[in-house]
């Protein structure tokens, strides 16, 4: 069986780097960071895709500074919407499938049951609105796409909640962590494995991908310290105690209808994934 060629955008980011460094017998993976591919330039996207002729583009490049986006809406939309349009156009022109990484922030977070792939979107932040605009560009401009929404991402590359908690534990004796935001952590290693399986298929459409199970940030923090053997006192607090420019979804649990109905393997429970990361991933 001949290998498929996959181009990764945003290959220096948390998920992009995980994918770019993945070894697989069925795919040749080429990663491009911001310095090698400026996705905000349509000619640059066309040029890179014309040279490499990928079968698949996994578009991880994104503006992810959620709070900063509130004061930089033009930049957030330039990167998350306009650049996604560029990637979609250039990918379609070379006949490549497109996989776009999206977010739980496309929902308003006021739900009480897990959001499925067909629930109405209603983003409340500039970041969420710009990522939804990226989804719409993909759906409008490409005919063979996967949109994969994920949440609470952690892994060995880049900054994330797990690393922040472990760093803070080394600097202080006690911490307060928000207990009224509920979601599902997602381990980049497990997400990458799912994405690489997905893009080998023709099961196009929208997917929700996060590790199984749910928790609050407070419960996530407690598990991090417990599994890493870190002794620190953690106390719950309310979102209102830590006001931030961008509204955080109170409830961002996602249902995985796409994964189940297309008979993909569910991502393992988040505590198992966290344990794997703490033992092997760092």
166 burial via Cβ count (<10 Å: 0-12, 13-18, 19+): middle
Rounded CA-CA distance 31/214 in Å is: 32
Bridge-partner residues for 129, per DSSP? none
The tokens for 136 are: 């719409």
SS (H, E, C) 77-120: HHHHHHHHHHHHHHHHHCCCEEEEEEEHHHCCCCCCCCECCCCC
Whether 105 is catalytic is: no
Rounded CA-CA distance 193/22 in Å is: 9
Instruction: Catalytic residue, from 100, 127, 146, 207: name it.
Output: 127
The tokens for 119 are: 């629930």
Rounded CA-CA distance 223/162 in Å is: 10
Rounded CA-CA distance 120/151 in Å is: 17
Concatenating the DSSP letter of every residue in 50-79 gives HHH--SEEEE------HHHHTT-HHHHHII
Q: Within 13 Å, how many C-alpha atoms sit on residue 248's CB side?
A: 20
Angle among Cα 281, 14, 255 to the nearest 5 degrees reads 90
CB atoms within 10 A of CB 265: 10
The tokens for 273 are: 């994934």
Rounded CA-CA distance 76/25 in Å is: 36
Sign, CA torsion 261/267/103/47: negative
Residue positions annotated with a catalytic role: 127
């Amino acid at each position: 069986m001949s290998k498929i060629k996959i181009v990764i955008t945003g290959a220096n980011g948390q998920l992009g780097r995980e994918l770019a460094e993945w070894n697989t017998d069925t795919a040749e993976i080429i990663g491009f960071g911001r310095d090698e591919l400026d996705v905000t330039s349509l000619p640059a996207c066309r040029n890179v895709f014309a040279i490499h002729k990928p079968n698949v583009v996994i578009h991880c490049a994104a503006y992810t500074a959620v709070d900063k986006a509130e004061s930089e809406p033009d930049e957030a939309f330039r990167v998350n919407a306009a650049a996604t349009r560029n990637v979609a156009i250039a990918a379609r022109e070379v006949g490549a499938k497109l996989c776009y990484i999206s977010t739980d922030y496309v929902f308003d977070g006021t739900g009480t049951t897990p959001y499925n792939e067909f629930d109405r979107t209603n983003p409340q932040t500039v970041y969420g609105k710009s990522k939804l605009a990226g989804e719409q560009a993909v759906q409008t401009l490409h005919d063979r796409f996967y949109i994969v929404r994920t949440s609470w991402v952690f892994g060995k590359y880049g900054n994330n909640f797990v690393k922040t908690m472990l760093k803070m534990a080394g600097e202080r004796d006690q911490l307060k962590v928000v207990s009224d935001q509920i979601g599902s952590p997602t381990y980049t290693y497990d997400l990458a494995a799912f994405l690489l399986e997905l893009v080998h298929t023709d099961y196009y459409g929208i997917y929700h991908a996060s590790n199984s199970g749910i928790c609050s940030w407070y419960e996530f923090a407690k598990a991090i310290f417990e599994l890493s053997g870190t002794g620190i006192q953690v106390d719950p607090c309310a979102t209102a105690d830590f006001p931030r420019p961008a509204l955080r979804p109170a409830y961002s649990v996602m249902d995985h209808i796409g994964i189940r109905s297309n008979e993909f393997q569910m991502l393992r429970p988040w505590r198992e994934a966290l344990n794997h990361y703490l033992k092997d991933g760092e």
